[in-house]
Amino acid sequence: PLYKYEGFWFHQGFWFHSEASFSVEVVMALQEEFVAQPTNVFLATYPKSGTTWLKALAFAIANRTMCKGSNPTHPLLTTNPHYCVPFIETEPFLTNPCYNNDLLATHLPYTLLPKSVISSNCRIVYVCRNPKDVFISFWHFVNKLLSDDMSPEMKLEDAFELFSKGVSPNGSCWDHVIGYRKASIERPDKVLFLSYEEMKKDPKSEVKKLATFLGYPFEEGDGEIEEIIKLCSFKKLREVSKANKDGHKAIPNDAFFRKGEVGDSVNYLTPEMIEVLDKITLEKFNGLDISF
């Protein structure tokens, strides 16, 4: 069951086997108690929009020297990116090895970020994704967790009803994107807005943009960008996660890697469902210059 808080939905208390991670109690506590540093960079996403990929890329960029010459000891060759960049909403991730504390991640909507994130003036990177693909990715993810837990799976129609009404953990996918998109327009030096689709289409240019924003611009022509893109590719990260089974107790490592493609939702959604989601997207994103 989900509960509405300040316009967005969250679960209460425990979720699967995890502690109270991502719960409304944690969200409320973080708002007042979390102390952001001006040097922090928050990697913000709506779940299933490319969080794992963004974490890997930002971590690889910020720890650039480790990437030189496909260094076999690079943490991303043995560790799920979620352990390299912790979520602030999950206490278990915070207690795990963290190689660069300046990078932190969150699924919180912009308006519910801890107050100190805005007052510290630290930077935020947001990745959005076509809501149709987010929905299908999320539906698969939840069903994987449910089946691992021997619980009945969620029907596509039921999940669709909830998602299209914005009743999902972290609230409406559309409102989540809108909050960060507006922030990126108002504070472009502090909020970088990227999209999963652009990252897939032109990884080099998007990774360059990300590196410049993070303060680690690339020199042209030394092959570093290509190396980072390869290290953080879907194929490579999935390979690493399959080899390393010791994931978080609630979420197995490989649950974060399914297909990694743009447009897979057409293989699952009915034409009517597509029409509904496209209509919401068109209305909600009107005038915000967001296209997929």
Q: Looking at 48-56, 112-120, 145-153, 204-212, which segment touches ligand A3P (CB under 6 A)?
A: 48-56
What's the rounded Cα separation, in Å, for the pair 129 and 281?
A: 11
What's the rounded Cα separation, in Å, for the pair 272 and 277?
A: 9
Q: Which two tokens stand for residue 45?
A: 């996403």
- Pick the closer one to ligand A3P by CB: 116 or 193: 193
Q: Which two tokens stand for residue 220?
A: 């042209």
**Binding status of residue 59 toward ligand A3P by CB under 6 A:** no
- Is residue 269 within 8 A of residue 139, CB to CB? The reply is no
- Which residue among 9, 174, 257, 285 contacts ligand A3P (CB under 6 A)? 257
- Pick the closer one to ligand A3P by CB: 50 or 166: 50
- Pick the closer one to ligand A3P by CB: 77 or 118: 77
227: number of Cβ within 10 Å: 18
- Residue 137 CB, shortest distance to ligand A3P, in Å, is 3
107 catalytically annotated: yes
Look-up of token digits 């991670």: 21
**Binding status of residue 258 toward ligand A3P by CB under 6 A:** yes
Q: How many residues bind ligand A3P (CB under 6 A)?
A: 21
**Binding status of residue 51 toward ligand A3P by CB under 6 A:** yes
What's the rounded Cα separation, in Å, for the pair 201 and 6?
A: 35
**Sign of the dihedral through C-alpha 186, 187, 188, 192:** negative
- Residue 223 CB, shortest distance to ligand A3P, in Å, is 19
- Which residue among 205, 259, 270, 291 contacts ligand A3P (CB under 6 A)? 259
Q: Looking at 12-20, 49-57, 95-103, 267-275, which segment touches ligand A3P (CB under 6 A)?
A: 49-57
- Is residue 70 within 8 A of residue 227, CB to CB? The reply is yes
- Is residue 241 within 8 A of residue 80, CB to CB? The reply is yes
What's the rounded Cα separation, in Å, for the pair 35 and 33?
A: 6
- Which residue among 87, 126, 260, 273 contacts ligand A3P (CB under 6 A)? 260
User: Which residues from 186-205 bind ligand A3P, rule CB under 6 A?
Assistant: none
Residue window 78-117: x/- pattern of binding to ligand A3P, with contact defined by CB under 6 A: ----------------------------------------
**Binding status of residue 281 toward ligand A3P by CB under 6 A:** no
Give backbone dihedrals phi and psi of 46, rounded to 5 degrees, phi first.
-85, 140
Q: Which of 11, 74, 82, 107 is catalytic?
A: 107
**Binding status of residue 254 toward ligand A3P by CB under 6 A:** no
User: Which residues from 115-174 bind ligand A3P, rule CB under 6 A?
Assistant: 133, 137, 140
Strands (E), 153-220: 191-195
- Pick the closer one to ligand A3P by CB: 89 or 133: 133
What's the rounded Cα separation, in Å, for the pair 77 and 57?
A: 13
- Which residue among 8, 22, 53, 193 contacts ligand A3P (CB under 6 A)? 53
Q: Which two tokens stand for residue 225?
A: 């960008």
User: Which distant-in-sequence residues (6+ apart) come within 8 Å of 179 by Cβ?
Assistant: 109, 110, 111
Residues in the chain: 292
Interaction site with ligand A3P (CB under 6 A)? 45, 47-53, 133, 137, 140, 232-234, 237, 256-260, 264
Catalytic residues: 107
